[in-house]
Structure 1
């Protein structure tokens, strides 16, 4: 019998109440005799149950059932969160098809490649396993990020303009804390990431949605708002926008930057999906090379959600106040995670991985659009690649009953209302193409 089997068997007996709270368990020797386990296996299993709170070890006396072990109420999810579609996606088990999620399928991630890189990093950077990371970010990684950003976007930052973060959400939070005072008006794309809307509202912002067109943000709508009130910042996606999947055009980017200069507001460019682009993409930041634009990127979407490494590239004057905020909120990104990302950027592993991902994305985007179009679904914006399609069906005015029906088949979608500031998106769905398959098409017949 292995340690795991012995542990599982003993835990089942504890759960069944074979011993009462505070009762001493039989000796290790007795367990060994009755369960055909070794002394080491029995001790290891009991030690694990101590760490899990089931047992208490008393040196010289043995193991005792923890007093509160049978008094634990079943742990339920918070009721207030149960109706949140994003919470349900993140908390849902592996039996669900998460067709509305915002990440790649696990099968698309080369875990063997990641494992090798992790081992290599651990061997070469052993001190990073136990030390704090650099507050601004690992110097070698910041240097490597400058090369990476310039190669893919034509932005030319310096290492002193780069600050690493715990993913893009942390980066957005830091920027929002720095720029926004309660009552400030802030532009966002509409539709847009619902988490961003709530994050800005948490900072006290008045959030104004700017309609996303196939070219990018609606310039006329921006001008109309700016004629009535000042705006502090515009938070936006430039590449493979969430949830429509669209990109900005050079002319649109130029006109948005022109308005930012004229009306004195910052552009906070969340380019978290940018590395999915097979060619250098249009960004706001490249037009002014980080004078008024704050550029945010991350490796969580394309590499691993568990390795939370993102970054901010910004005007030099903003680096120090953002660094102070970072010290207050997280001190530093884990040193090992930063060195791991530096390793795979420097040796070409990341570039090779992304080349495969980009090709898969193009193929999967085309297949999904073709399949859904044949079934009558329509797209206001037709993405060239990326994860998302923003879809509607002419016979469905409110998607909620359709979403509920698919949920009964363990297929989880994100309703359009989750991406709204003030517009009515009940007829819309965000669909993640990378989780779509031919086997799911029958569920989309209306």
Structure 2
């Protein structure tokens, strides 16, 4: 006589397999489930077991039977997408969203040395006002219409020229505008990744890379960062062992470390990527802060397996949102279709045309030169103040506004950040940036926001 307990266990296993496919989006609403006989063969159970499992899921409203057609996923079958699914619960201070939420929701009087953008009075507000007025006076569709599928032709032509200056040969038709740099990465992840795919990141890396990859249910592996790029020996070892589908990095000025990729490291990195058929997303959002351009993977690779993305939120405006993707020609049409499906196009014409006005008006070059000079004065000044507290920069970057620092012996960055928050100061603890959670004594500082001496005073209280 069959053991009912074993039969129940087999039915439960089939049900769990279906629920897992729903959770990972392998089965979508309206999609037909495998036939009873096919799934019975897959699960190595009898057809009667699959019938029992399907009937139970139908009773719960998870799937629906269609006479003569089979079983289909119900419209409301998918659970909410958990951005941290499979991750252990951690204190909020080391969650990748912690710094973002504290910075975005900060009151007017909050000091934000942990945020990732420049103060408003460092931005070219007069140039932005002139550009907004010029676009507003235009008789074209910029005030009312959707953007074209690729985005503003004027801005794409500007970007084509800027990329040529970095040694990247890309036609304007190879450039797609997006609503932001983050959306550019999201679109590439949607196109290239499936749940469970392995993605390689630097350790540390920009914390929103980690948040976004978890939203895509990717498996994250990391390699330590050095002053000249990722540790190449470990990089090659990880590629051989883990076979990642994708690598995401900054190469101009690395966030959060400020490191610069060397030419030697870039060549070895690309050779390893080619040997293991790995794609690369190169985020160039900090490139304009460099005094002289460093090697770009996209230039050395010719946009074959490297996708270049960027935006102007760090140098012009985080309010006028616009990003871009430069990629090989055969990827452009699928990218455009994907962007239409998920956002009905990229940035609005008003934003794109406003940025094009600023970039072509002659004031942007002067603004960038002034930013570089101002930051070159601020970096050593802030570093000296931090060192008096025992906070030591990991390196002195050649550009940009980040200092990646080691705290005094015995100080945990999480504790310091939480103590500073009580003093109305937002800091960026190191483990927020570390997939391996290996940066407990590290912290990223924004030197432009550390000019206020109140920041140093609050940090001293938090450390002591």
Distance 2:234 2:162 in 1: 34
Q: Distance in 2 between matches of 1:395 and 1:366?
A: 22
Residue 122 of structure 2 is aligned with which of 105, 108, 116? 108
Tell me whether 1:202 sits opposite 2:215 in the alignment.
Answer: yes
Q: Which residue of 1 aligns with 2:395?
A: 381
Aligned length: 366
Instruction: Look up the match of 1:237.
Output: 250
Tell me whether 1:261 sits opposite 2:274 in the alignment.
Answer: yes
Query: Counterparts of 1:160 and 1:393 in 2: how far apart (Å)?
Result: 47
Instruction: Tell me the equivalent position of 1:96.
Output: 110
Cross-structure match for 1:335: 349
Q: Residue 456 of structure 2 is aligned with which of 437, 441, 446? A: 441
| CA shift for structure 1 position 113 | 2.0
Alignment of 1:292-441 (within 5 A): 292-332=305-345, 333-437=347-451, 439=453, 440-441=455-456
Counterpart-to-counterpart distance in 1, 2:307 and 2:363: 27
Could you list the per-position Cα deviations for residues 250-280 of structure 1 after superposition, in whole angstroms to 9, with x for gaps in the alignment? 1111111111111111110011111111222
Structure 2 spans left out of the alignment, 5+ residues: 1-89
The corresponding residue for 1:29 is none
* Contact 1:257 1:284 survives alignment (8 Å): yes
Q: Which runs of 5+ in 1 are unaligned?
A: 1-79
Secondary structure (helix, strand or coil) at the match of 2:265 reads: helix
Aligned mates of 1:244, 1:428 — CA distance in 2? 10
- Choose 375-384 or 406-415, whichever is displaced more: 375-384
Aligned residue number for residue 56 of structure 1:
none
Q: Find the aligned partners of 1:127 and 1:159 in 2 and give their Cα distance.
A: 21
Aligned to 2:168: 155
Deviation of residue 125 (structure 1)? 5.0
**What is the CA–CA distance in structure 1 between the aligned matches of 2:313 and 2:456, rounded to whole Å?**
29
Q: What does the per-residue CA deviation read over 1:208-235, in whole Å, with 9 as the maximum and x for residues that have no partner?
A: 1111111101111112122223211110
Residues 402 and 201 of structure 1: is their aligned pair in 2 closer, same or farther, counting only changes over 3 Å?
Answer: closer
CA change 1:205–1:82 in 2 (3 A) is closer
CA contact (8 A) 1:125 1:336 kept: no
Is the alpha carbon distance of 1:137 and 1:145 closer, same or farther for their aligned partners in structure 2, counting shifts above 3 Å? same
* Partners of 2:316 and 2:157 in 1: CA distance: 20
The 8 Å contact of residues 262 and 294 in structure 2, kept in 1 or not, is answered as no
- Per the alignment, residue 203 of structure 2 pairs with 190
Which residue of structure 2 lines up, in the alignment, with residue 213 of structure 1? 226
Contact in 1 for aligned 2:407/2:443 (Cα 8 Å): no
Quote the Cα distance in structure 2 between the aligned partners of 1:343 and 1:125.
Answer: 15
**Who is 1:65 aligned against?**
none
> For 1:288 and 1:226, how far apart are their aligned partners in 2?
18
The 8 Å contact of residues 174 and 332 in structure 2, kept in 1 or not, is answered as: yes
- In structure 1, what is the Cα distance between the partners aligned to 2:245 and 2:296? 20
SS of 1:429's partner is: strand
- The 3 A distance-change label for structure 1 pair 397 and 408 is closer
Task: Please report the TM-score for the alignment, with normalisation by the length of structure 1.
Answer: 0.79
When residues 395 and 334 of structure 1 are mapped into structure 2, their CA distance, relative to the original with a 3 A threshold, is same
Q: Give the superposed CA RMSD.
A: 1.8
Contact in 1 for aligned 2:311/2:323 (Cα 8 Å):
yes
Query: Deviation of residue 146 (structure 1)?
Result: 0.5
Equivalent residue number for residue 119 of structure 1: 133
Q: For 1:306 and 1:81, locate their aligned partners in 2 and report how far apart those are by CA, in whole Å.
A: 31
In structure 1, distance between residues paired with 2:435 and 2:283: 18
Q: Which residue of 1 aligns with 2:62?
A: none
Counterpart of 1:250 in structure 2 is 263
Which residue of 178, 192, 195 maps to 1:179? 192
- Residue 423 of structure 1 aligns to a residue whose secondary structure is coil
CA-CA distance at 1:241 after TM superposition: 1.2
